[in-house]
Structure 1
Amino acid sequence: MCVESVPPPPSRVTRRGVLAGAAALAGTAALSTTPGAAAAAPVRGGADPDRGPRHGGDLVVEGGTLLDPATGEVTEDAVVVIRDGVVRAAGARAQVTAPDGIPRLDAHGRWVLPGLIDAHIHLNTAAEARDAVRKGATSARSGSTSFYQDIAVRELARQAPGLAPRLRAAGVFVTPDLGDTVLADPDLTALARLKDGVRSAEALRRVVQVNLARGADVIKTRVNERAGLPEQDPLTQVYSYEQLSEVVAAARRGGKGVLCHSYSERGCDDAVRAGIRSLEHGVFVGERTLHDMRRRGTYFTPTLTAIAGLVDETDPVLAERGRRYLPVLKEAVRAAHELGVPLAAGTDSSGGAVEPIGREVELMRAAGLPALDAIRTATTQAARLLGLERTAGRLVRGFAGDVIVVDGDPLAEVSVLKRPVRVVRAGMPV
């Protein structure tokens, strides 16, 4: 059945529904905040919602050891000056003049890093969004949601940065069986009539078009079934190279990239050849495909945290799958790093259980990356993947005032990143 007979979705994004969702999320979150926290983010009308944090704070972080992931430079007794949510100066105390009259955060005896980036996470509620920030993820990329919750979370982050990470939203999943997601938007309901699901070129384009019309920053699709469901086989391919190419082409017409859920060797290869921006999971990615990824600049987001989590599942099928997949994926990560394939850290957290992004950095280190390179997967490299390379991933002048303070040297033991003792989002302690 052709779905093109139904008028395409409006090309102009209507923000009423998105902002209404953000207001609902913000209201939910406000119930759990203190009056002081709520007062720290006053609403100011007239600001452009697409130009970074709308409500930044002033803060001086002083006395800690500052790490710049881009250069590897370590600065002791450092001072970071944040005004209106943006870094105005950072460096050794002797080189930075901290203005009087603004709040101080004492970081003596601790290490100071830019806020981390989770390049694959599913945020469906205000509570999950806030939890991600508290655990160190001050920026993130959505791995899709069922009803555009991530687009509302993105708007919540702009209204009240302390309640959500700066987010690249993926909207709804381009997948053969949309299930109840057809109810996410009236322009998707016609797809429910399709006997074979979202498989035709027209249907694939429709889901991408609706996502773009609703304001998605990226498009999420799949080439294989899921690993986290015992009744599914992650090596079964659900979309062909030609179908993936349709998704990529439709996304590119809207100026967006595609992240692709992938497991099998052939599936990974088909996805990369189709032109995806990043390969997600990628357990059985082959050496030839890794070479192709390096040539194309395709990112690899292995979500080691999610695969490692399968090992502890009570279902024996999932536990065995985790035990079998994790060492294979670690080897793929090591090989990708050695070849120069760009890696990005993502936890694939979902269902209310938000894993600290520092856990993914720890697993990157365990896969064979040097500590600094592992840290870069959640800072500078992830920032480039998200198009935030001039905003996030460093604490230098002009970058976002997103900070984590950790109780130990992350270059000696990256596990300290799992337990930040303080998190600052846009100049405001969380």
Structure 2
Amino acid sequence: MCVENTPPPASRLTRRGILAGAAALAGTTAALAAAAPAGAAVPAGAPGSRRPEGHGATGGDLVIDGATLLDPATGRVTEDAVVVIVGGVVRAAGARGRTRVPAGARVLEAHGKWVLPGLVEAHIHLNTATEARDAVRKGATTARSGSTNFFQDIAVRELARQVPELAPRLRAAGVFVTPDLGDTVLADPELTPLAKLKNGVRSPEALRRVVEVNLSRGADVVKTRVNERAGLPEQDPLAQVYDREQLSAVVAAARRGGKGVLCHSYSEKGCHDAVMAGIRSLEHGVFVGERTLHEMRRRGTYFTPTLTAIAGLAESDDPVLAERGRTYLPVLKRAVRAAHELGVPLAAGTDSSGGTVDPIGGEVELMRAAGLSALDAIRTATTSAARLLGLQGSVGRLARGFAGDAVILDGDPLADVSVLKKPVRVVRAGIPV
């Protein structure tokens, strides 16, 4: 899918400018921040103040009391648990009698509920502060961007560090490395020379240039494509736009900056070329074949199928898109099941864009429908997705030293994963949202 929005372009931003932009975003949503009370932050250097990778400088103190705790890493279930968060970081989590609650701590009563770590959304397009806030409210406390048109995700990442309850902790992708940049050519003055290229961004030099601009702007990952889009009726999702050599140029440029590549893909040949080029994760991948899945397992390449986006096509008013969705969804579910059985790592991502944020819990439900166990489906949006983002030591679990992010649910997700679609409360960095 990978629908790109086109809000007005921003001027060229230095890191200082990005922080200023984030502050402006935070200012426009100050009333929302006030509505979500924050706990006191732990002073730097105080006991328990060490912040794992991916944490900003802001966090709250909170005790989540009485819920049934699920640890996705082990599958262990602890009834009547206590989770202690100090300065946005978990200090302790476990059975009541074994977990000390600080005197005078702010308590969030959760008796009769279940508590899980905040969910990880591995493919989303966050273009506005409203979308970022909605993602958090729906349970995605950590996310990976699937690109934006004008580096909005860079600013959203900074917003998340300054006011965590307003945005998920974010791995930003910057702008899409694609043959036709469209209005994105205005995202940075360094991109404008590419507008004169008759065949678009295809040469090794042009591909490297877009990657280099992304890296200079602070992108955490690089997003490219091998096929056309499924979400536009006039495009053929099986048509290939980059060959293996071009994809290799993107991967090589990203690796020089220490970054991985996520690749929009549909056809089997496109998927195989992308994996052989060395991408970090395959996005969509409806027609990925067995030979490619074996190669993905060998290389440790992740599969982010975005089942939510494909299912959404089937509900389109456009007959071409609706038929495409009805045809593609069962094929993709079979691919997900085959990938899981082979041991290919899976990550949950909705590919939300265009102002609508789908709950990441819905993607977990579709993973379950594709044949994964409830626990394995939950892992695609917790421990497995955290590893993809390089945050396995700080998100995806509620354990000492991990982020104080949590979703509180009305029911047992191991019995019915659909409860993940509507968390009754979300906690971001120790702050109830």
TM-score band, normalised by shorter chain: over 0.9
1:237-248 paired onto structure 2 within 5 Å: 237-248=240-251
Q: Aligned residue for 1:5?
A: none
1:90-239 paired onto structure 2 within 5 Å: 90-239=93-242
Determine the C-alpha separation between the residues in 2 that align with 1:280 and 1:387.
Answer: 17
Q: What SS does the corresponding residue of 1:333 show, helix, strand or coil? A: helix
Q: Which amino acid aligns with 1:138?
A: T
Equivalent residue in structure 1 for 2:343, among 340, 345, 349: 340
Q: What SS does the corresponding residue of 1:145 show, helix, strand or coil? A: coil
Q: Aligned residue for 1:35?
A: 34
Cα RMSD (Å): 1.8
> Any runs of at least 4 consecutive aligned residues in structure 1 with deviations exceeding 4 A, and if so which?
38-42, 47-51
Determine the C-alpha separation between the residues in 2 that align with 1:39 and 1:342.
Answer: 36
Q: Aligned residue for 1:16?
A: 16
Q: What SS does the corresponding residue of 2:32 show, helix, strand or coil? A: coil
- The answer to whether the Cα contact below 8 Å between 1:21 and 1:149 also exists between their aligned partners in 2 is no
Check 1:100–1:302 CA distance in 2 against 1; reply closer, same or farther (3 A cut).
Answer: same
Determine the C-alpha separation between the residues in 2 that align with 1:36 and 1:202.
Answer: 49
Report deviation, 1:36: 5.1
Q: Aligned residue for 1:419?
A: 422
Residue 77, structure 1, aligned to residue 77, structure 2: no
TM-score by length of 1: 0.94
Residue 400, structure 1, aligned to residue 399, structure 2: no
Q: Identity of aligned pairs, percent?
A: 80
Report deviation, 1:323: 0.2
Determine the C-alpha separation between the residues in 1 that align with 2:103 and 2:338.
Answer: 50
Equivalent residue in structure 1 for 2:90, among 87, 101, 126: 87
Check 1:343–1:23 CA distance in 2 against 1; reply closer, same or farther (3 A cut).
Answer: same
Q: What SS does the corresponding residue of 2:176 show, helix, strand or coil? A: coil
- The answer to whether the Cα contact below 8 Å between 1:41 and 1:160 also exists between their aligned partners in 2 is no
TM-score by length of 2: 0.93
Tell which deviates more after alignment, 160-169 or 17-26.
Answer: 17-26
Report deviation, 1:33: 1.4
Determine the C-alpha separation between the residues in 2 that align with 1:407 and 1:194.
Answer: 55
Check 1:39–1:91 CA distance in 2 against 1; reply closer, same or farther (3 A cut).
Answer: closer
Report deviation, 1:20: 2.4
Report deviation, 1:21: 2.0
1:239-388 paired onto structure 2 within 5 Å: 239-388=242-391
Q: Which amino acid aligns with 1:79?
A: V
Aligned length in residues: 415
Report deviation, 1:53: 2.2
Report deviation, 1:102: 1.6
Determine the C-alpha separation between the residues in 2 that align with 1:86 and 1:395.
Answer: 9
Q: Aligned residue for 1:67?
A: 70
Determine the C-alpha separation between the residues in 1 that align with 2:239 and 2:40.
Answer: 47
Tell which deviates more after alignment, 19-28 or 105-114.
Answer: 19-28
Report deviation, 1:353: 0.3
Q: Aligned residue for 2:413?
A: 410
Q: Which amino acid aligns with 2:85?
A: I
